[in-house]
Amino acid sequence: MAKRTKKIQDYDFFYSFLRYYTDLVLKLSYRTIKYVGRERIPQDGAVIYAPNHTNALMDAMVILALDRKPKVYVARADIFRNPKLAKILTFLKIMPIMRMRDGIDEVRKNNETIEKAVDVLRDRVPFCIFPEGTHQAKYSTLPLSKGIFRIALQAQELMPDMPLYIVPVGLRYGNFFRFRSTARVAIGDPINVGNVVAEHSDLSHAELINLMKEQLDERMKEAIFYIPNDENYDAKYDICAAVVRTQVRKLRENNRKLRGLDAHFEANNRTLERIAEIEQNDKATYDELIELGNKASALRKAERISVSSVFVRHHTIVRILRRLLFIVSLPYTIPASILSLPMTFTCKAIFKKLKDYAFRNSVRYFINLIMWPILMIIYSALAYAFLPWQWALPLTLAILPAPIIAHEIYRLVRILRSDIKLHLNKELRGYYARIQQLIFNQ
Q: For residues 144 and 73, what is the distance between their CA atoms, to the nearest angstrom?
A: 17
**Series of mean pLDDT values for 10-residue runs along the chain (442 residues):** 72 91 94 94 94 92 92 84 82 78 58 83 92 91 91 89 95 91 95 94 92 96 93 96 92 87 93 95 95 96 92 69 79 89 93 87 92 95 94 93 88 87 94 94 70
Compute CA 154 distance to the chain's CA centroid, rounded to the nearest angstrom.
29
Q: For residues 358 and 360, what is the distance between their CA atoms, to the nearest angstrom?
A: 6
Query: For residues 171 and 57, is the Cβ–Cβ distance under 8 A?
Result: no
Q: For residues 211 and 133, what is the distance between their CA atoms, to the nearest angstrom?
A: 19
Contacts of 407 (CB under 8 A, 6+ apart): 179, 180, 340
Q: Determine the pLDDT at residue 327.
A: 82
Please list the residues that pair with 97 across neighbouring strands: 76
Q: Say if strands 127-128 and 94-97 run parallel, antiparallel, or are unpaired.
A: unpaired
How much is the pTM?
A: 0.90
Give the helix/strand (H/E) hosting 372: helix 360-386
Give the CA angle between residues 119, 74, 41 to the nearest 5°. 70
Q: For residues 229 and 139, what is the distance between their CA atoms, to the nearest angstrom?
A: 8
Q: Determine the pLDDT at residue 106.
A: 58
SS3 410: helix
The candidate with the shortest Cα–Cα distance to 64, out of 77, 79, 51, 80, is: 51
The candidate with the shortest Cα–Cα distance to 265, out of 13, 32, 75, 96, is: 32
Q: For residues 209 and 207, what is the distance between their CA atoms, to the nearest angstrom?
A: 5
CA torsion sign for 191, 192, 198, 201 is positive
Query: For residues 119 and 95, is the Cβ–Cβ distance under 8 A?
Result: no
Cα separation of the two ends of the chain: 80
Q: For residues 294 and 301, what is the distance between their CA atoms, to the nearest angstrom?
A: 11
Query: For residues 80 and 96, is the Cβ–Cβ distance under 8 A?
Result: yes
The candidate with the shortest Cα–Cα distance to 113, out of 64, 147, 70, 153, is: 147
Q: Determine the pLDDT at residue 1.
A: 45
Query: For residues 396 and 389, is the Cβ–Cβ distance under 8 A?
Result: no
* CA dist 112 → 97, 101, 148, 246 (Å): 9, 19, 14, 53
Angular region, 154: left φ>0, alpha ψ -120 to 50, beta rest: alpha
> Could you state, in order of their start, the residue ranges of all structural domains in the chain?
13-223, 233-303, 316-424
Q: For residues 313 and 287, what is the distance between their CA atoms, to the nearest angstrom?
A: 27
Superfamily of domain 13-223: Glycerol-3-phosphate (1)-acyltransferase (3.40.1130.10)
Helices (H), 46-96: 57-64, 83-91
The candidate with the shortest Cα–Cα distance to 169, out of 224, 93, 227, 94, is: 224
DSSP string, 288-330: HHHHHHHHHHHHHHHTT--HHHHH----HHHHHHHHHHHHHHH
Q: For residues 385 and 169, what is the distance between their CA atoms, to the nearest angstrom?
A: 50
